[in-house]
Every structure is written in C-alpha cells, then in structure tokens.
Structure 1
Amino acid sequence: MLAEDDMLFGGLLIGVGLYAFVDKWQATGLVKVETIYDVVLNISLVMVIAGGVIFVVSFAGCVGALRENTCLLKFYSLCLLIFFLLEMAIAIMGFVFPHTMQSVLEESFTDKIIQTYREDADLQNLIDFAQQEFRCCGLSSEGHMDWAKNEYFNCTSPSVERCGVPFSCCMNATDISVSTLGSHVEAKHINNCLHTLRGLVNIMCGYDVQELSVAEAGKKVWTSGCIEIVRSWAEKNLYTIAGFALGIALSQLFVIYLAKTLEGQIDLQKSRWNT
C-alpha cells in the first residue's frame, strides 16, 4: 500500500514537473542545462527527476511484492536504505555543524541564485516566497547587499531598479505612500487613490536601499540573509524538526523491515518447493 501511494506521488511529481518544464520551454524557447547548478535550480527539472526516482523505486517494490520477485524487493529495500543513510548524513551535518553547512550553502549557491533571479520565473517566485515568509533578503551573511550581484539591481546598471532589492524584501510591500502618487494629484483625490491602491504590491518599495546605511535600510527592508534566518529558525524549533525527522526515519526503517521480511518468506517458500 505504501509503495502504491509513493508511486502515485512520484507520477504526480513527474506530471506537474513536465507541465512546468514544457510551459517554460514554450515561453522562453530555451532551457539552459549546462552545469549541475542549472539542474538543481530548475524547479521543474528537480520535480521530474525526484518524481522519476520515487516512481521507479516504488514500482519496483509494488511489482516485487505482487509477483514475489526477490530481485525487485532487494532493489527496493536497498534504495530505501540509501535514501535513509543520505537523510541521516544531511541531518547530522545540519545538527552538528550548522555554521559549516551554512557557509557551504552560501558559497555554493548565493551567486548563482542571485544572478539568475530574473531568468527563471519559477525560481523568482520561490525566492520571493521565501523572502516574504522568513522575512529575509538575499542569501548570505551580506543580507540585502547580495542583490548587488544581480545585473538589474547592481548600482552600475542602467535599469530603474539599480541599487534596489526585490519587493519581497520590503517590510511592507503593500505600503503605497502619498508621495508615489505625484504632486499633480489634487488633495481631494488622494484618499480615493489610496483606497483604490490599498492591497496592491508596491514593486518600487525596495528601490535605492543599497545606497542607504544598514540602519536606514533596516527601516524599509529586511537586511538579514535567508540562509542565516532559516538556520536560526531551525535551531529554535530543533526538537520539533528532530521529532519529525525521527518519525520519517522510523517509517522508512519499518518499510525496509517489511520488504526484507517478505523477501525472506519468499526465499523460504522457494526452498521448500525445491526440496
């Protein structure tokens, strides 16, 4: 039953990932896959690959149980064991060496993610969501100044966004002040305009913040990097995360035990037939 559910989940990931990949390919006409970073940061490709792995492994477990095929069952249990060991290795690294892991992630992904922010709509939406949910800006310890590495937000850029940050960095992205309406607007119309614009996202709220001091910028945008904020959040919720991880680990071990038990029963029955 568990293998069937995982197989359906894997198929769903493949379907959604393929749809997103084809949609992106039709919209841009080109999907660059030259380095490992291009694959890791392409959300649709990650979904297709993850879904494919889950589907193949679950299919092997399901067919192996139905057809009493010990080879497929061994493949299934071995894959689950590899997944379990990888998860444990990552969890131990995160819990025992959190600062080292933070440094590795910052050095490996900050520049690539910041630079491709405008090139991939899926990645852009994910970054905006993370910055709004975790109240952070940028990725590394440099915080909002990470966005100076993006060609649109760099202070040497001819773009109107030069020296700015994405709106998702703003403390209140829906705050549209009277000054943005322009001095030509008559006073009697200001209240009506503000009422109409209320709730809309002010994409200019992060403009020019790179030119401000950290103290001044901190009044308008979040100035801490997201990796540091996520690490601090994980440390505060350590027991909850550990309990959740332990539950997943125990369930995987239980499934491995069931697969090995079934494999042993099949081998025992075959040996009886041979005698």
Structure 2
Amino acid sequence: MPNRRSYYGIDSRDMHPRISQNFTYVSSCVKYMIFLLNFIFWLFGGLLMGIGVYAFMDKLQSTGWVRLETFYDVILNISLVMIIAGALVFIVSCAGCLGALRENTCLLKFYSMCLLLFFLLEMAVAVMGFVFPQNMQSFLEESFTDNIIKQYRDDPDLQNLIDFAQQEFKCCGLSNAGYQDWGKNEYFNCSSPSVEKCGVPYSCCINATDISSGLVNIMCGYSVQQQSVAAASKRIWTSGCIEIVRVWSERNLYAISGVALGIALIQLFVIYLAKTLEGQIDLQKSRWNS
C-alpha cells in the first residue's frame, strides 16, 4: 500500500492550502451589526410595553373596569395595543440579538421569518391604501366608525386620540356623514338627556380656545347637529376624518411613498444580513464537522 507521501516525496496534504485554526467564516461586522440594531429595538419594545402597562393599570384604577369583549374593544384600547406591539418588538428583536450573539441559526431563522411576515403585511396594506384608496376608505368607515364614536367617552386614551386627530386634521367624525356621526354616541345623540345632546366634541370646533382667557370652550359644539352643513361650518369642521386623511395622503403621496420605501429597504437589508449570518454559521459548522 503506498503511503500518503507521493513518489516525489511530497505530502498530498501540502498540495491544499491550510486554514488557520483561528479562521472563522462568521463575519464580526455582520454579527454585531445585527446585534446592535436589534438591541436598540429591544430597548424600544421594552419601553413601549412598559408605558402600555402603566397606562392600562392607570386606566383600570381610574375607571374601575376595562371592556375587552370584542375584537374592536382590543384594537381600540390604545394602552393594550401598545402592550401587544411592544411585546412583539421585544420578542422578535430579542431573538435577533441572541441569535446573532450566540450564533444560533434557529433564532435567526425565526427572526428573519418574522421580519418577512411584517414586510409582507406592510406591503399588503400599502397596496390596498394606494391602489384601492376608495375601497380602503369604505372598509375603515364601515368597520370602525360606530365602534370609535360609541366608545369616545368610555376610554380616556381613545378620547384623547380622537380629539388630537380632529384638531390636527381639522375634521369632525369619521365617515362621509362628518359631524353627524356624533349622533351615534349616547352623550351627543339628540334623544339623550345630557346637556351635550345634538352636539359634538369641542375638538370639532374651529375656534375652541378663547383668545382672551386661553381656556377651552367645551360648549362650542353644542346643538350643531340640528343645523345645516352651511350653518354648522361656521362653528365646526364638518368633514369626516377618514376622507380628510385620504386627501392629505394623496397630496403628500411622494413623501409618504419615500418614507415607506426607506422602511421597506431597511427591513430587506436586515433580512439579508440575518440570512447571510445564517449561511456563515452553517459554513462554519460544516468546517467543524469535517
């Protein structure tokens, strides 16, 4: 039997380049870039979840109850949405951090799969919003108008969000009915025994704040539901917020598209980094096993 040395006295192993024992296929740059990015989002997710828990407990103590009977009760509960969103960001980014730091391909696959799922959902919403804006508007009006209007006074966080949106976008109500949407609320309904009957929230008013005193006039929207659109428009904004937001989006389409494209490219880049690190780790494992 001929030994491993050739007839010319040269070891066959010398014919192949030797790899140092300290050599690794895993790039430190890729590894720690993924770790750093996800560490930042991990902190953000924990902060968001903490704020949501604090707001939820504060609301529970102040109101004594939180209604969570339907799907709409959950998604319209701002503090609960913050908890769920924070938990998702916390878990996914934690998987990215540990997967990169410990070079664990299972965690990295879970991480990249979650990012891809988020990306596809965002793309689906973007396509519906930009390609079929009227259909999206109709869906939002039919699905959320009644629930949001009816829960206005039941949830302080939702109330603050609605007031902020109506003041910022200069609108009143949600659907094409505009300010007449508030007739669906038990406090603003014209058959209500409340002093606010046939009225709208102060955030609908064109001039809700008294210039001389600087105080908000919460009575500025009283009884406007009994007035025509022309008469009411002198005191309040009459158009629904969904239509106003749609028009605003169309006017700022290029800016919104640019931001959305930037976010999408960042997500794809991070997914690419995760898949690259997975491949490098598998290559390193195959070297150890050989």
- TM-score, normalisation: structure 2: 0.87
What CA distance in whole angstroms lies between the structure 2 residues aligned with 1:33 and 1:216?
A: 39
Which of 263, 280, 288 pairs up with 1:248?
A: 263
Which of 225, 234, 241 pairs up with 1:219?
A: 234
Instruction: Look up the match of 2:171.
Output: 136
Q: What do the CA deviations read for 1:84-117 (whole angstroms, capped 9, x no partner)?
A: 0000000010000001000000000000000010
- Within 5 Å, give how 1:1-275 maps onto structure 2: 1-175=36-210, 195=212, 198-275=213-290
* SS of alignment partner, residue 186 of structure 2: coil
* SS of alignment partner, residue 94 of structure 2: helix
Give the counterpart letter for 1:75 in structure 2.
Answer: F
- Note the residue ranges of structure 1 that are not aligned, 5 or more in a row: 177-194
Instruction: Look up the match of 1:183.
Output: none
What CA distance in whole angstroms lies between the structure 2 residues aligned with 1:22 and 1:174?
A: 32
Give the drift of 1:175. 3.6
RMSD: 0.7
What CA distance in whole angstroms lies between the structure 1 residues aligned with 2:227 and 2:64?
A: 39
Q: What do the CA deviations read for 1:52-72 (whole angstroms, capped 9, x no partner)?
A: 000000000000001010000
Give the counterpart letter for 2:77 in structure 1.
Answer: N
* SS of alignment partner, residue 163 of structure 1: coil
* SS of alignment partner, residue 173 of structure 2: coil
Q: What do the CA deviations read for 1:5-56 (whole angstroms, capped 9, x no partner)?
A: 1100100011000000000111112111111101100000000000000000
Give the counterpart letter for 1:230 in structure 2.
Answer: V
- Identity among equivalent positions (%) equals 75
* SS of alignment partner, residue 223 of structure 1: coil
Aligned length: 255
What CA distance in whole angstroms lies between the structure 1 residues aligned with 2:82 and 2:209?
A: 32
**Which is higher, the Rg of structure 1 or of structure 2?**
2
- Runs of 4+ more than 4 Å apart: none
* SS of alignment partner, residue 197 of structure 2: coil
